[in-house]
Structure 1
Amino acid sequence: MDQAGSNSQQVRRRRVFYIPGYDPIHPRRYRELYRKEGAAQAEISGYSLSLSPKRTTGAYGWHAAAVMDGVQSEADIDVLVWSDIVRGSMEATIPATYWQLARTAWIYITTGALRRLMRLRKGPVIAALYPVGMLLLQALLAFLLAWGVAHAFGVAARFGGLGGQTAAANGWALGLGCGYALLRWFKKRDGRIFAYYLMHDYAHSAASRGAVPPEMEARMREFRALIAGAMLDPSLDEVLVVGHSSGAHVGVSVLADLVREGLPADRPALGFLTLGQVVPMVSFLPRADRLRADLKYLSLRDELAWIDVTAPGDGCAFALCDPVAVSGVAPEGKRWPLVFSAAFTQTLSPERWQQLRWRFFRLHFQYLCAFDRPGDYDYFRITAGPLTLADRYKDRSPSHSRIDVPVSKFTSVAAG
């Protein structure tokens, strides 16, 4: 696992670039999560970790200082924000959301992507079907309310001597208004149900059948420029890019372009950590040529170390699915990623696991949180500790239960 530009000396200073998933919330939530969970993990594991305001320019972030295994190290952590793009994609009206539902379901079913995704893991497919089922249930309840109001109005009108057709029209007008009001009520409470949120998430990926939307291409160029600037900083020992959920496939394309451009000869080590990835949701679509090409390219490179961490307990991720192999683009001589499990059922105590096991959305963020029975995966040691990502996992074997066979129907890659 040797990589150019890295050595086994301890990390004193690191720059971390965190790429969130499909999340409309301000990035301060990630700082607060890091502060709270980092303090908890430090107490459990017996090291020191403190946060202070960021010392770098550019993206939103913070500074972390740590003493782990008797070694002092520090990290500047930046959140690469695309929440404004997410919010823009979530502004659809109720009718437009139902149109997204129909279109997204049509794309995944008719291309065969849904059937092949089900051959990997049932959990994320069920998670993808959840907003479809929930929105259809809401529509059914709204229709039943509309019918009930119209029927009740019609009965009352007949007793009042009103004409049949006029009463029916007025009844249905009132009923449809009540039904639509119910749909608006559901939408306002989506912060607990997540039906609209998840529907917009899947629709965002499927809208272009896997191609990268222009606004994301532009944002990814900005991300690449920030990371490229850090690679020129002589004071850094490591530049670490972390992609969580949908941020994993964004990170793949950003780093593939960065490496293609060429890295400086005298540079810090480059690490890439993907967490809870959902790469197949995009790479299995017919026009995901760009992403498949980037997966293939990055899997061969020795300029970086790429570690992919998931867990079967996370029902929203394609756990232990090698994103390069299952996408059907694994080349001869493939090096990356190293795929292994965060093993929630082992790294969380039985009591903690019972508290979290049915909180699916929370479990999808567990990679960024404290473990009360930590194993060899510790987000805070990785992002603020004294070892590079490559050194930390140089002797780590991949999980034996990983899925590394080609499954995708579409394997074309972008030219160049």
Structure 2
Amino acid sequence: MGQGAEKQVQRRRVFYIPGYDPIHPRRYRELYRKEGAAQARISGYEIDLTPKQTKGRYGWYVTGHIDGTVTEADFEVLVWSDIVRDSMEQGIAGTYLQLVRTAWAYIGSGALWRLMRLRKGPVIAALYPVVFLLVQLLIAMISAYGIGQLLAMTLPDWTAWVGVVMVPLVLNWFRKRDGKFFAYYLMHDYAYSAQSKGANPPELETRLSEFADVIAEALQGDVDEVLVVGHSSGAHLGVSILADLLRAGRVPADGPALGFLSLGQVVPMVSFLPKAGRLRQDLHDLCQRDEIAWVDITAPGDGCAFALCDPVSVSGVAPEAGKRWPLVVSAAFTQTLSPERWKELRWRFFRLHFQYLCAFDRPGDYDYFQITAGPRTLAARYAGRSPSKSRIEKPVNKFTGRAL
């Protein structure tokens, strides 16, 4: 199972890569604090949080008392929320222009139809902002027409101005309440990758290089494991960062065990685009390396992820021989959450997309807090674990070209 499979962990560095999220990274500390305490009560261990002890932009420090041992873990959030916020400053008209460009990127390239052959859930999630933004526009136009008809009875000279004023007012009303609808947020999310047809924007490439330097420094430190966790869009960023490090020979043979935990990944949303050659090359390279253990956790109950889709194989870049990763494992929400808890969360799609970072009241072999604060490396924890039988490995991607 990769480097350091039998090594006991006393000290660990954890690097968390968020998905497309504009919110301050303190939310991840608070989520870890709250859900870690809940999981500890359920599973019978202890987790304590204190301020971060290493340099870095944002993080926290954890002491885990698990399986009779004490493990120290220093967390760092690899922040790119500033890039996300900048990409979201489009205004109403700019967002509708994004809608047209993004729809064309996926429909015109044929990627949308191929993605639907994998999982319909994330495709529906991608179509939701398109449909809902168009519904908002329709409501605005109908409202303007209706009020215009009323005004025409008494103030005919004002009728022509109704649309000019009413449509923006209605659209702005919806936008201010996007915290409930998530239409603008999701539109910006999908548009960010689609704008360059799968290629990383320059500002993101610069940030990935900075992240690689931070992880490379940790790999030279006095720790037993360096664990990279990529959630949602952060999963494909983690693939590229780690592939860069391994190709450059920046992972020391006698250094800490290196683990990569991808959670709720949406890799195909990018790798299926025509200019995502960089990501496809990274997937191809990373899946063959012995120096790393890569475990991919998803769940069919998460409608926002490509559940149990092997991101390497479905992208059409698996080598003919020598593929080792990822180990695709299901978090099996319907089994690891009690019927009561599952009933409570089942239709809360965005909350379920973050369940991987939360407590399970019927935990299986996936426990985020034991993985990040326990005494076993990622490789040791999943040594001998068979991949989920219902995983999808059939390549369906039309664009399989690779490039750096």
Q: TM-score, normalised by structure 1?
A: 0.96
Residue among 355, 362, 382 paired with 1:393: 382
Q: Contact 2:199–2:276 at 8 Å: present in 1 too?
A: yes
1:288 aligns with 276
**Structural mapping, 1:343-358, within 5 Å:** 343-358=332-347
Q: Contact 2:265–2:305 at 8 Å: present in 1 too?
A: yes
Q: Contact 2:316–2:400 at 8 Å: present in 1 too?
A: yes
Deviation at 1:184, TM superposition (A): 0.3
Q: Contact 1:149–1:172 at 8 Å: present in 2 too?
A: no
Deviation at 1:265, TM superposition (A): 2.9
1:119 aligns with 117
Cα offsets for 1:210-257 (capped at 9, x unmatched): 001100000000100000000000x20000000000000000000000
1:202 aligns with 190
Residue among 303, 318, 321 paired with 1:330: 318
Cα offsets for 1:24-66 (capped at 9, x unmatched): 0000000000000000000000001010000000130000001
Deviation at 1:146, TM superposition (A): 0.8
* Residues 1:144 and 2:133 aligned together: no
Cα offsets for 1:105-126 (capped at 9, x unmatched): 0110010000000000000000
Q: Distance in 1 between matches of 2:186 and 2:56?
A: 30
Deviation at 1:7, TM superposition (A): 4.7
* Residues 1:218 and 2:206 aligned together: yes
Other structure's SS at 1:321 match: coil
In structure 1, runs of 5+ residues without a counterpart are 159-166
Taking only aligned residues, the RMSD between alpha carbons, in angstroms, comes to 0.8
Structure 1 counterpart of 2:300, one-letter code? P
Residue among 79, 89, 92 paired with 1:91: 89
Deviation at 1:2, TM superposition (A): 3.7
Q: Contact 2:109–2:274 at 8 Å: present in 1 too?
A: yes
Q: Contact 2:99–2:187 at 8 Å: present in 1 too?
A: yes
Residue among 240, 244, 251 paired with 2:227: 240
Q: TM-score, normalised by structure 2?
A: 0.98
1:362 aligns with 351
Q: Contact 1:18–1:80 at 8 Å: present in 2 too?
A: yes
Larger Rg: 1
Query: Identity over the aligned pairs, expressed in percent?
Result: 69
Cα offsets for 1:168-202 (capped at 9, x unmatched): xx213123312211100100000110000000000
Cα offsets for 1:344-381 (capped at 9, x unmatched): 00000000000000000000000000000000000000
Structure 1 counterpart of 2:385, one-letter code? R
Q: Distance in 2 between matches of 1:176 and 1:44?
A: 57
Q: Distance in 1 between matches of 2:363 and 2:348?
A: 20
Q: Distance in 1 between matches of 2:149 and 2:235?
A: 51
Residue among 59, 62, 85 paired with 1:61: 59
Q: Distance in 2 between matches of 1:103 and 1:232?
A: 44
Q: Contact 2:284–2:312 at 8 Å: present in 1 too?
A: yes
Residue among 33, 47, 51 paired with 2:49: 51
Q: Distance in 2 between matches of 1:196 and 1:56?
A: 36
